[in-house]
Structures are given as structure tokens and as C-alpha cells.
């Protein structure tokens, strides 16, 4: 699917960008997209980022993968059907066993930012059920994708 026209400067610095059509069923009784949908849009961008950096592949081979520690959202304007959301994801902090990601959702119909958010994703050993160091291949893929300063958090 071709990316629709939108103000590209609004996603400058977001190396992973996806588009998702808004569905009628995502609307709530107040006539706008329910707040839970924004978190699903963040999740879709997060998974696309993880795929690009090999984090999901590390889970399949080593049982070490991402687990969401925490997430937040700043709602800026309501999304409504019909529209298309353009969602960007980037890593803002890179630690030994976790990353902090930032997300931005654009409304194509309004050419504006609909929401911004963040999430902390911990590297998790699903076999041992404990946190683990971020796989080195994933760390290197993130650094190849975007410049991120190491963080101790």
C-alpha cells in the first residue's frame, strides 16, 4: 500500500513508519476512536520496529524477546472513521536490558499529530522467566537503524 501524502516533517527521526486504516468498529459511543486503539497502534509500530531489528527473530531462536514494561499516551486530537493513521516508532534510550521507544500517530485526514507516546520494553528470557541482556545482534541493528546514545536505566 502506498504511503498517503502527509507532512513528512512530523515523522522526521522515526525510522520505522507504518500506516493503518481506521476501522468503523474502533469508534466508541462518543463518536471517536476509543483510547485503547491508540495503544494498539503503538503496539503495531513497536512490533514492526522489533521485526526490523531482529528482536522477534531472537525470540524464535533463543527464547529471548521483548516484553512491555510500561507505556503512556498523550492524546492530541481524536481520530474518527474514515481516516488512516500513520504511526512512527523510534528508540530514544538504549540500556543493557531494555529500550525506551517513542511513538507518534498522525491523522492523514487532518494532517496533524493525533497522539504521542512512549514505552519501555525489557529484554526477557521466556524460558527462564526473567529479564535478560538485550541480544547483541538486536542492539547492533538498532544502532545501525538510528543513532541512540546508551542509557543506564
DSSP string, the chain: -PPPP--GGGGTT-SEEEEEEPPGGGB-TTSSB-HHHHHHHHHHHHHHHHHHHTHHHHHHHHSEEEEEEEEEEEE-S---SS-EEEEEEEEEEE-SSEEEEEEEEEETTTTEEEEEEEEEEEEEETTTTEE-PPPHHHHHHHHHHS---B---
Task: Cell numbers for 26, please give them.
Answer: 474502533
Cα 105–Cα 109–Cα 110 angle in degrees, nearest 5: 70
pLDDT, position 50 = 97
Query: Would you say 82 and 110 are in contact if contact means Cβ atoms under 8 Å apart?
Result: no
Between residues 29 and 152, the one the model is more confident about:
29
| Chain segment 28-38, per-residue pLDDT in tens | 999 999 999 99
pLDDT of 7 higher than 80: no
pLDDT band at 2 (very low <50, low <70, confident <90, very high): low
Distance (Å, whole) CA 13 – CA 113 = 15
pLDDT, position 5 = 66
Task: Cell numbers for 84, please give them.
Answer: 488512516
pLDDT of 4 higher than 70: no
Closest listed residue to residue 110, CA positions, set 86, 126, 75: 86
Query: Would you say 81 and 32 are in contact if contact means Cβ atoms under 8 Å apart?
Result: no
Closest listed residue to residue 49, CA positions, set 107, 119, 111: 119
Amino acid at each position: 500500500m502506498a504511503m498517503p501524502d502527509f507532512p513528512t516533517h512530523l515523522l522526521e527521526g522515526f525510522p520505522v513508519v507504518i500506516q493503518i486504516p481506521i476501522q468503523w468498529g474502533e469508534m466508541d459511543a462518543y463518536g471517536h476512536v476509543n483510547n485503547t486503539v491508540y495503544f494498539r497502534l503503538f503496539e503495531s509500530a513497536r512490533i514492526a520496529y522489533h521485526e526490523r531489528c531482529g528482536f522477534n527473530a531472537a525470540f524464535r531462536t533463543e527464547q529471548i524477546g521483548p516484553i512491555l514494561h510500561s507505556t503512556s499516551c498523550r492524546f492530541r486530537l481524536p481520530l474518527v472513521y474514515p481516516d488512516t493513521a500513520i504511526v512512527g516508532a523510534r528508540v530514544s534510550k538504549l540500556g543493557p536490558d531494555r529500550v525506551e521507544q517513542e511513538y507518534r500517530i498522525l491523522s492523514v485526514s487532518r494532517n496533524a499529530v493525533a497522539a504521542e507516546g512512549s514505552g519501555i520494553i525489557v529484554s526477557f528470557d521466556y524460558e527462564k522467566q526473567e529479564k535478560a541482556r538485550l541480544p547483541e545482534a538486536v542492539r547492533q541493528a538498532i544502532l545501525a537503524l538510528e543513532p541512540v546514545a546508551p542509557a543506564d536505566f
